[in-house]
Structure 1
Amino acid sequence: MMNRKEILDGLRHSPTVDVCVLGGGINGISVFRELALQGVSVLLVEKRDYCSGASAALSRMVHGGLRYLENGEFSLVQESLVERDRLLHNAPHYVAPLPTTVPIFATFSGLANGVVRFLGLTRRPSRRGAVAIKAGLGIYDFLARKRALLPRHQFRGRKSTQKKWPALNPAICGSATYHDAWVSHPERIGIELLRDALSAGANAGALNYATIERADAGEILLHDKLSGEKFPIRSRLVINATGGWIDMANGTLFPADDRPAPLMGGTKGSHLIVDNPALHDLLDGHMIYYENEDGRICILFPYLGKVLVGSTDIRVEDPDAVRCEAEERDYILQSLAFVLPGVRIRPEEIVFQFAGVRPLPASKDSFTGRIPRDHFCTLLEGRDGVPPVLCMIGGKWTTFRSFGELAAEIALEALGRGRRLDTADRAFGGGRAFPKDRSGWIRNLSKSTGLSVDRAAALFKRYGTDAKDVARFIMAGPDHPLPHANYSARELLYLIGKEAVEHLDDLLIRRTTLAITGELSLAMTEAALDLLAAEKDWPELRKAEERSRFLTLMRDRHGVAEATLSARNEQRSELCETTARSG
């Protein structure tokens, strides 16, 4: 990525760009990439870290949206299925098929209610029986029939279902299995898309920890949140891709007496990461996609050696204040106990929790599940020196590429520019030149760099074919181990230097999966902080502030106390010793 100082210096000397994209989540990065690859002069501005909001809090599913069929959103489901299949092709290092099993508790339940919901005559959720599920899965298969990358759905009766999953609620009468996909490292996909955009050349620049705002004179000010510096920039068009923050962002761009009507009405979804090996194993690689007793859809599937369980759907007013509350945690655990009544989760087995705001359009619907999940763009005319603002409304993670493409087409038309390349089949990051023989590729990496086969395999799992660049960096200088057997200092230094890491949470929560998998110890936190502080040349006071900031964030937003991290020191130490002996 371009050096932050170089980008800021360039804007001071040449403060005009064609497009300024506000918001560095997955949709903002997507439209930024689309425009950058067309040669448009474009600046991306993100007030926190890239993919640190809703784009870090998704359910880790890459899917068509089976339940959206009830809302009549057939075009969205079809578009999502197309984009799902493209991600399986373009990002095979992070996106993989996921067999998904739906427990069925009745035959005809929900059929009539599903029809009237489809017609808009009721908002009430209801349980879905075998006939309703069969109809939905039939449509799902039909919409994906031309590509047929994944197997068609199948049904199991009560006996065969109980034989395969004996822990399921005994009240079931059968099950259905279909295939969607899951994403292992969604935040890293954002970083790789960003790097792909920046590969276009000097016409593209991106800044995290920065904002833009309207000045009194009608100028747009760029505010570097790290240095505190502000200076004016000019842009022919602003794209507001801030998701749940769209209305708040518009409030900073338009005069107080002439602000647009609210556009967003997001809902909060919370998830838990559970470390329960028995639960992980009984899932047998499947996601269980089930209805809680109140009709709310919940999910449960293996995730990086742990189990992800979610989610809730609650209206929120302040997207900055969202976190998984105690009652949400209780609801998720209750739903798990309903579908798997013999499973009990101890509090200490919840190793991480997260919550995010779904960027849904403004709606007064009393049932949040009926709010449309589709995406569209709204163009607000410029006022008092502020350029036109194109707002990206709605959207789901799976469709980030097509949504970015849509917004880019509108922007290109406004600029009088044409498209010169298509991203539909453009692999990115570690998905480029992805090998059919993964084991052979890993052995070759080990042989060419001198890293052990196990270490090369770990790098390939984390970075795909980009592991080659990481491995070369590791071997190019003196390295030393860290309090985690699978990481070394040079790997973290690579991430700090190449991926715009400015805070400890950027590194430990988003550039790596250490935090979300419950593998982060206090000792590893301190070691990572030492590396980051040295690279940033922080004095001791600044380093202490960063430590406090990170530990507070882990406690308040992710339910992980300092004492928990400290207790993991001994666990990680024992694991490292075991790994060393086995090696």
Structure 2
Amino acid sequence: MASDPILDLAIIGGGVNGAGVARDAAGRGLAVALIEAGDLGGGTSGASTKLIHGGLRYLEFGDLALVRKSLAERDRILRAAPHIAWPQPFLLPVVPWGRPALVLRAALFVYDALAPRRGLPRTVPVDLRADPAGGALNRTLTRAFRFHDGWIDDSRLVALLARDARERGARILTRDPVVEAKRTEGGWVLGTRSGERMSARHVVNAAGPWAERVARDILGLADPPALRLVQGAHLVTRRVNRTDEAFLLQQPDGRIVFILPYERDWSLIGTTETPVEGPDQPTVTAAEEAYLLAAANAVLARPLTSADIRHRFAGIRPLVFEPGKSSRETTRDWRFVDHRGAAATTIVGGKLTTFRRLAEALVSALFPRTRPWTAEAVLPGGAIPDCGGKTARANFVLWAQALARRFPDHDPRIVARLAGRYGAEAEAMLERGLGAKRGGLFEAEIAHFQSHEFAQTLEDIQWRRTKVGLVDFEPQAPGRIASGRRAAPEPRVAISPSCGRSA
């Protein structure tokens, strides 16, 4: 028999959209369950280019509404999660095979104009021969434009959204796929592989690239949405960025490729748009690797080879199917598909940057008597005090410096790493003690990931909650975590963060 009481909303899929919807709905007092077949952020949402941005290239297709919406959300995310998101400066070199400098400057002028006034620094021209960042580029390139977007730890974003949802009353089930679904007069009864059964008035299909399959094969809907699936490949290489600035590279085929500073010692190069037939087991192809290396080597002073690649990953983006348009031209906005005769909605498309607006729009449409609340809310760890900085990130930097002074017995590099990973919660973690170090992480961190961020396997921790797999762990098959100091869930911040020096 289905469990009681009846849920208002059951969400299938624990990517950024599903976790965002669960958080939004739970915060409105609705009864919510989020059901994920694997790990949170284990699909597309954890295999992005790690950017929160307005979509400069969308201007080329006249999608001003999406750009404006995305830029507003970029600003909100930077305020909500200053520990895992920060302003990212970019250099856009002027190249012979790309758009003329005047066209680039005009596009960036519009981009700046569409952004919130309290946002990031405006675009400026750069002489690459004199700028420190230009040393990484070959000497034939002399001009560029510096502009700003944002960077985010995508996997941690999803885990924090789900945690916030749980703290507001949502049930979060991971590694427990829905295997059966039956319609009832009041909505649905869902069953999971572990034997969980629950009744829900409405089902949201947020399965991303698996959404068509879930709608057809699990929910038994006669009108599953058609998706355009494209693979985005990424390479992690030796560090080629000489500063903290990223490069945005125009390509002869009209696309763009990013080279981002990544995890201090590395660079991240992406991405591609390769059409694929199915969503399972995305793998970087030889052609994609060659494409990305060629894009980088066309501008780098010291070329990369396959031997310089430390890690490869790919994700499948589920785009709205728009007949007659290429993958590059297809909108990155979302659509909601309300299925005929069923209390079910499928989410199609969307961007990492706009997850909050998507969730707000969907929950408001389904439950119009509830009130939105997420526009100014912070994520777990994001409640950094005002330390006199002009931005949320500036306050975070000042607070992290004060944290290192408060705990002088710890290596300041360790304190900085903990602050950047856990935000305000690092203070309580340091107070309680970190325990022994195991494979690049302290016992307290492993316990935190298990108890607060739904991690169940080594892979969850190595590659999604952290990126220690790049250095401290050798890649290995997923396995259950040998529990170190697993703790019960605790209040979000046990100690009020402070900007002051220790006594």
Common fold: TM-score over 0.5: yes
Contact in 1 for aligned 2:247/2:259 (Cα 8 Å)? yes
Give the distance between the partners of 2:178 and 2:70, measured in 1 at CA: 32
Question: Is the CA contact (8 Å cut-off) linking 2:181 and 2:219 kept in structure 1?
Answer: no
TM-score, L = length of structure 1: 0.75
| Counterpart AA for 2:122 | R
Aligned to 1:75: 65
Alignment match, 2:123: 153
1:275 and 1:442 map into 2 onto residues whose CA distance is: 31
On the 8 A contact 1:496/1:507 being kept in 2, the answer is: no
Query: 449, 468, 483: which is aligned to 1:514?
Result: 468
Q: Which of 90, 108, 113 matches 1:137?
A: 108
Which AA in structure 2 matches 1:500? F
Q: Provide, for residues 185-206 of structure 1, a one-character-per-residue CA deviation record: whole Å limited to 9, x for no partner.
A: 22112111212112223xx111
Instruction: Give the one of 238, 244, 250 matched to 1:285.
Output: 244
CA–CA separation in structure 2 for the residues paired with 1:52 and 1:344: 32
Q: More deviation in 91-100 or 289-298? A: 289-298
The aligned counterpart of 1:410 is 365
Partner of 1:481: 437
* 8 A contact 1:214–1:252 mirrored in 2: no
Give the structure 2 partner of residue 397 of structure 1.
352
For 2:86, the equivalent position in structure 1 comes to 96
Aligned to 2:171: 205
In structure 2, C-alpha distance between the alignment counterparts of 1:217 and 1:309, rounded to whole Å: 45
Give distance in 1, aligned partners of 2:428 and 2:252: 49
1:439–1:212 distance in 2 versus 1, CA, 3 Å: closer
**What is residue 457 of structure 1 aligned with on the other side?**
416
Deviations 1:90-148 (A, max 9, x none): 11111111111111135xx8xxxxxxxxxxxxxxxxx311122122111111111x424
Q: Could you say which residue in structure 2 is the equivalent of 1:492?
A: 446
Q: Distance in 1 between matches of 2:209 and 2:15?
A: 11
- The answer for the alignment partner of 2:457 in structure 1 is 503
Aligned residues: 473
Specify the alignment match of 2:74 in structure 1. 84
Deviations, residues 35-88 of structure 1 (Å, cap 9, x unaligned): 000000011011111011111011011111000011111011001100111111
What amino acid does structure 2 have at the position aligned with 1:502? Q
Contact 1:292–1:339 (8 Å) recurs in 2: no
Partner of 2:391: none
Residue segments in structure 1 that go unaligned for 5+ positions in a row: 1-10, 110-126, 537-583
Closer, same or farther: CA 326–520 of 1 in aligned 2, 3 Å:
farther
Correspondence for 1:431: 382
The 1:193–1:182 alpha-carbon spacing in structure 2 relative to 1, beyond 3 Å, is same
Q: Secondary structure at the match of 2:103?
A: helix
Match in the other structure for 1:273? 236
Deviation at 1:347, TM superposition (A): 3.1
Higher helix share: 1
SS of 1:285 mapped into structure 2:
coil
TM-score (norm 2): 0.87
Letter in 2 for 1:520: D
Displacement of 1:269 after TM fit? 0.5
User: 450-459 vs 321-330, which deviates more?
Assistant: 450-459
Alignment counterpart, residue 61 of structure 1, candidates 41, 47, 51: 51
In 2, Cα distance between the equivalents of 1:530 and 1:49? 14
SS in 1 for 2:7: strand
Asked if structure 1 preserves the Cα contact closer than 8 Å seen for 2:418 and 2:426, the reply is yes
Q: For residue 270 of structure 1, what is the amino acid of its counterpart? A: A
Secondary structure of the 1:237 match is strand
Alpha carbons of 1:454 and 1:331: their partners in 2 closer, same or farther (altered >3 Å)? closer
User: How many angstroms apart in 2 are the aligned matches of 1:74 and 1:490?
Assistant: 46
Residues 1:351 and 2:310 aligned together = yes
Change in CA separation of 1:22 and 1:445 when aligned onto 2, cut-off 3 Å: farther
1:532 and 1:353 map into 2 onto residues whose CA distance is 29
Correspondence for 2:156? 188
Q: Kindly tell me: are residues 532 and 352 of structure 1, through their superposed partners in 2, closer, same or farther at Cα, counting changes over 3 Å?
A: farther
Give the superposed CA RMSD.
2.7
| Match status 1:331 vs 2:291 | yes
2:336 alignment partner in structure 1:
377
CA gap of 1:528–1:535, structure 2 versus 1, over 3 A, is: farther
Aligned-pair CA distance for 1:333 = 0.7
What amino acid is aligned across from residue 274 of structure 1 in structure 2?
A: T
Post-superposition offset of 1:287:
1.1
Larger Rg: 1
Indicate how the Cα distance of structure 1 residues 366 and 21 shifts in structure 2: closer, same or farther if over 3 A, else same. Answer: same
Q: Secondary structure at the match of 1:238?
A: strand
Distance 1:526 1:47 in 2: 18
**Match for residue 373 of structure 2?**
422
Higher mean displacement: 188-197 or 526-535: 526-535
> Which consecutive residues of structure 2, in runs of 5 or more, have no partner in the other structure?
388-394, 488-503
